[in-house]
Amino acid sequence: MISTGIDIGSRTIKIVSIDSSDRKMVASRRVETTFNPLGQATKLLDGIEGDRLIATGYGRRLAQENFGGHSITEIQAHALGARHVFSECQAILDIGGQDTKAISLDLRGKAQKFEMNDRCAAGTGKFLEFMATSFQVPIEEFGSFALAGVEGLKINSMCTVFAEAEATSLMARGSRPQDIAFALHLSVVKRSISMLRRVTTTGPIVFSGGVALNPCIVELVRREMADEVLIPEDPEMIGALGAALYGLTHTS
């Protein structure tokens, strides 16, 4: 049997297919969500063979309505995916396009306590993307750009609009853009870690989501966390992987 997980996020849509016989990944794809998530998802699923589809992410119901199958929350999907990749994982920090999640796991690997950011996208991938744009640096390079900065400046606000105003006034005072970028990254990390500390005190911690591809964030998360931080090879795919794994054990 082939089980496919589809994770419709705000920024990208991911799918992972798993063969039940050996639990090996047989497909892994990714596409931008754009303004047409349904069309993009349809394209992404084209040619995927499978008996079971499990949707997750903010577009989970859209997928379920259009492709059938079952849906689970991102929280459960990340718990399953992270434990599969790193069996020693005790907690998860997931920073995606529009939300940040901190999840603690129980002994069986089930999601226990969790925290999510509220209605606004402060401190998420969107925040970094917005800031990268205002620095005129491509988002893929924003982390390395920030790593060239020196620590010392402080950004206090997590609201995208206010933080930009803070960054602008720092620039006007002649601070180096790299130093400001570093400060912005540090503020994201501090906020995420305080969220994580509210749900757990023990590691190891799996850091997943698209923002785990940013080298400055990764370095700062490692520096700020006392516990071991594990980063999957493909941190963006953990939700889709978890959904596919759910399909292996649950009939829809």
Partner 1 sequence: MTATYEQMWKDLGLDLVAHDMLMQVLGQGYQDVFLTQESRPQGMDYFNFVMSEVHGLRIKELLDGKKEGKKVIGSFCVFVPEEIVRASDATLVGLCTGADFATEEVEKVLPRNTCSLIKSAFGFKLGKVCPYIESADMIVGENTCDGKKKSYEVFGQLVPNLYVMDLPQMKSPEGKALLKAEYYRFKDRVEQLTGNRIDVARLKNGIEIVNNKRRAVHRLSQLRKADPAPISGLDALLINQVFFYDDPIRFTESVNKICDEIEERTKTNSGVAAKGAPRILLSGCPMAVPNWKLPWIVETSGAVIVGEESCVGERGVRNLTADTGSTLDELMNAIVDRYFQVDCAIFTPNPDRLQHVKDMATAYNANGVIHYGLQFCQPYQMEAMPVEQALEAASIPTLRIDTDYSMEDVEQLKTRVEAFIERLR
Binding residues (CB under 8 A) for partner 1: these are 58, 72-76, 99, 110-114, 116, 118-119
User: Is 73 or 175 the residue whose CB approaches partner 1 more closely?
Assistant: 73
Taking the complex as a whole, how short is the minimal distance between the CB of residue 42 and partner 1, in angstroms?
22
Q: How far is the CB of 16 from partner 1 (least distance, A)?
A: 20
Q: Which is nearer to partner 1, 66 or 112 (CB)?
A: 112
Q: How many residues does the chain have?
A: 252
Looking only at the bridges linking them, the beta strands covering 205-208 and 12-19 are unpaired
Q: Which residue has the tokens 């900065």?
A: 149
Min dist. Cβ of residue 14 to partner 1 (A): 17
Tokens encoding 102:
């901190």
Which residue number, 29 or 191, has a Cβ lying nearer to partner 1?
191
Nearer of residues 103 and 137 to partner 1, judged by Cβ: 103
* Smallest distance, partner 1 to C-beta of residue 11, A: 16
Write down the least CB distance from residue 98 to partner 1, Å.
9
CA–CA dist 125, 136 (Å, integer): 16
Shortest CB 111 distance to partner 1, Å: 6
State the helix-helix crossing angle for 125-135 and 177-199, rounded to 10 degrees. 180
Identify which of residues 73 and 178 has a Cβ nearer to partner 1 in the complex: 73
For residues 106 and 140, which CB has a smaller minimum distance to partner 1 in the complex? 106
Beta carbon of residue 60, minimum distance to partner 1 (angstroms, whole number): 9
Q: What value, to the nearest 5°, has the Cα angle with vertex 219 and ends 159 and 204?
A: 100
| Whether the Cβ atoms of residue 29 and residue 236 lie closer than 8 Å to each other | no
- Are 60 and 75 in contact, with CB atoms under 8 Å apart? no
Strand-pair category, 12-19 with 2-8: antiparallel
CA distance 153 to 146: 12
Neighbours of 105 (CB within 10 A): 24
Q: Which of residues 73 and 134 has its CB atom nearest to partner 1 in the complex?
A: 73
Residues 6+ apart with CB under 8 A from 172: none
| Backbone phi and psi for residue 133, each to the nearest 5 degrees, phi listed first | -60, -45
Tokens of 189: 């990390």
